Amino acid sequence: MTTFLVTGSTGRVGRRFVPRLARWAGRGAVRVLVRQEAQAEAATALGLQAVVGDLRDQAARARALEGASVVVHAAAGRRGAPDEEAFEVNRDATVALGREAAGAGVRRFVHTSTNLVYPRRLGRPAVEDDPLDPSPLWGAYGASKAAGERGLRELGDRLPLVVVRPAFVYGDGDPHLADSLFWAGRWPSHQRLPVVHHADVARALWAAAVTPGVEGRAYNVADDAPVTAWDLHEINEVPRPEAWNTAPGEVPDAHAVVAPEGVGPADPWEGQVSTAAIRRELGWRPLYPSVWTARDAGAL
């Protein structure tokens, strides 16, 4: 039987992926690495295997990897965490897990990355072979995720790696869309945020884990309709910035509200990614092609 090891099972992506994976893979086929006994007990009650330990601990990684066939690495040092923690988890522990997974003979290592690893101002959607050159604006999170990817790539053919790079995730009760107003409230109204529902991230991770012959590939994951700053206020039922208001007949100043340090877009493709590869190679299509579809389905 294939045993799937999932790291980060209590994080935003992992906690929504694991129940789906358990249905797809079968009862008893999913193992999670968690940091607390209470989390392990909850996982066991759901029919999961559980190993207690910290991803940064070599002994814990060894216990989690024992007998694992496929690793889905969804753990990440959260945004806003101290820089040291971000690099410890997103780079150091990630590369160590990949190296040890290769030594343990896993058949597939799926790494959950982010679209923030791409450079800004490309003038087009980012594609998977663009350089990993995150903007300093994304802080240690983007830099450490890119460093982790580079480290995994350096393991070469020893590690059967597939990388999934989600856009801004939302849905299934995740408060991300509400959180977005912390910075989207300072954007120009037309600036677009690439997003993807947790259900569609889960389906992408599953496809990356089980599709034959895609080792070495990376895949962007985003829905069909990036959401504007204007839409984010509508979805969150929050009044729009006064600077966006115009009298009838006036032409609005599209850049009347711009985030500090030049976060406002230089071109209409700012932050956008192409999903052609995952559609072509894995047959992936979003169940929720837009935030509006998810809202109407009651899936926010």
Q: How far apart are CA 64 and CA 261, in angstroms?
A: 42
Q: How far apart are CA 159 and CA 286, in angstroms?
A: 28
Q: How far apart are CA 264 and CA 257, in angstroms?
A: 8
| pLDDT of 79 above 50 | yes
Q: How many CB atoms lie within 10 A of CB 212?
A: 6
For the stretch 7-35, pLDDT in tens is: 999 999 999 999 999 999 997 999 999 99
pLDDT of 1 reads 82
Q: Which fold has domain 4-174+195-224+273-289?
A: Rossmann fold (3.40.50)
Tell if the pTM clears 0.85, that is, is over it: yes
Q: Which two tokens stand for residue 142?
A: 């983007």
For the stretch 175-208, pLDDT in tens is: 999 999 988 888 888 889 999 999 999 999 999 9
User: How many Å is the Cα radius of gyration of the chain?
Assistant: 20
pLDDT of 183 reads 84
For the stretch 119-159, pLDDT in tens is: 988 999 999 999 999 999 889 999 999 999 999 999 999 99
For the stretch 37-69, pLDDT in tens is: 999 999 999 999 999 999 999 999 999 999 999
Burial class (CB in 10 A: 0-12, 13-18, 19+), 256: middle
Taken in order 88, 89, 90, 93, the sign of the CA dihedral is positive
Lowest mean pLDDT among 84-98, 190-204, 233-247: 233-247
Residue 30's SS3 state is strand
Question: In percent, how much of the chain has pLDDT > 70?
Answer: 92
| pLDDT of 263 above 60 | no
